[in-house]
Structure 1
């Protein structure tokens, strides 16, 4: 089998400087910081997001998760929070990705696609030219109270794999990932990155032992698929 790199790992719903550093020590290369959402876990104030970001060393990607659908609102959020990446969890309806790039040239833009039907593939293909990466998640934008992530549910990884094959930007996979299924996720989808939250928490708090177990399983399964990988 073709050699496979170990996917990068983003730990989401970071709620303190301590949690940020626990994730970094265990091997996370990206942290998710959740601003206002219509539902779901991990929401913290923009003031706290700014404090956490200030404590994180430059090699680590800091993702601002936003539910805003307005490019100008997102620009203002980013200026306040000072993350180096924005994760747009809903469809952008006012303004454009280019507006964000023009205002903040150094910011990476990650668009969430909630994988539900074949229409998700079309949506992913349509936004690919304008973003730096796509994050495939298990939310539902059609509910009265939108689910924009943090559901802990799996979605159809066959469809995720099809999206990954047809777009030319990095793919992050989210939704229900845990030590027991990470090998299947890596083998089936071959994502650039993995995004997780609930599987590495106990009573809502980031659990260092669960984090270590996840990273051990990830390394093991990648070595299994790619003999000789170090």
Structure 2
């Protein structure tokens, strides 16, 4: 049976992490220092929250670093084994990290502003372990957490062409998640603002989102 994976991002406390895990999240996102966007917490909090996440759930550190040395330093400082790289880093940085830190899982964010996102994915090839499609604008240092939906038709083409699993992010909520899955067919979904009220994780919205995923997956498995 089809199962769309789920990452709950912008986790700000151990209680939010526990809520996400209880709801069935496969990963939780912990946001390091960023030039823009919600959910930023100190590295000390990232480390403390990550330590409470039970295996096999994976804590992902969102990092704005773009060089191998600083990315690795950030991961080690926060004691995580997965980093979400929110900038379009140079492809060779992935090569350097693969050589120096083979234990570190790398999720490369692709900001979908148009068809050229397909070329960005092609340039990375199989270097990242996973791709994540978001709605930022790197040219103005907007690196995610926008709450905007991008062009899912482009995202669907990326999913069809990418050599690695693809997560979809950007403006997802309980009301549009079914359409997102049907249109894009991603490996997983990533969300932040669509399940929060007054900057707090809302259990009812999270439950509705997870329920919509399960219903849609079941429907697609029958087709």
TM-score for the superposition, normalised by structure 2 = 0.96
Matched, 1:123 2:83: no
Aligned to 1:152: 147
Between the aligned partners of 1:126 and 1:150, the Cα distance in structure 2 is 24
Which of 129, 136, 141 pairs up with 2:138?
141
Which of 8, 14, 17 pairs up with 2:14?
17
Indicate conservation of the 8 Å contact 1:17/1:55, yes or no. yes
Task: Give deviations 1:43-84, integer Å, cap 9, x for gaps.
Answer: 000000000111111201111101111111001001111112
> Superposition RMSD on alpha carbons, in Å?
1.4
Moved more, 89-98 or 178-187: 89-98
Matched, 1:218 2:218: no
Aligned to 2:160: 165
Q: Give the alignment of 1:64-143 within 5 angstroms.
A: 64-93=61-90, 96-143=93-140
Aligned to 1:200: 195
Between the aligned partners of 1:58 and 1:6, the Cα distance in structure 2 is 19
Between the aligned partners of 2:33 and 2:102, the Cα distance in structure 1 is 24
Identify unmatched segments of 5+ residues in structure 1: none
In the TM superposition, residue 94 of structure 1 has moved relative to its aligned partner by 9.4
Between the aligned partners of 2:92 and 2:109, the Cα distance in structure 1 is 17
Aligned to 2:174: 179
Aligned length: 223
Indicate conservation of the 8 Å contact 1:35/1:64, yes or no. yes
Which runs of structure 1 show a deviation greater than 3 angstroms over 4 or more consecutive aligned residues? none
Aligned to 1:31: 28
Which of 31, 53, 56 pairs up with 1:56?
53
TM-score for the superposition, normalised by structure 1 = 0.93
Task: Give deviations 1:178-210, integer Å, cap 9, x for gaps.
Answer: 111111111111000000001111110111111
Indicate conservation of the 8 Å contact 2:174/2:212, yes or no. yes
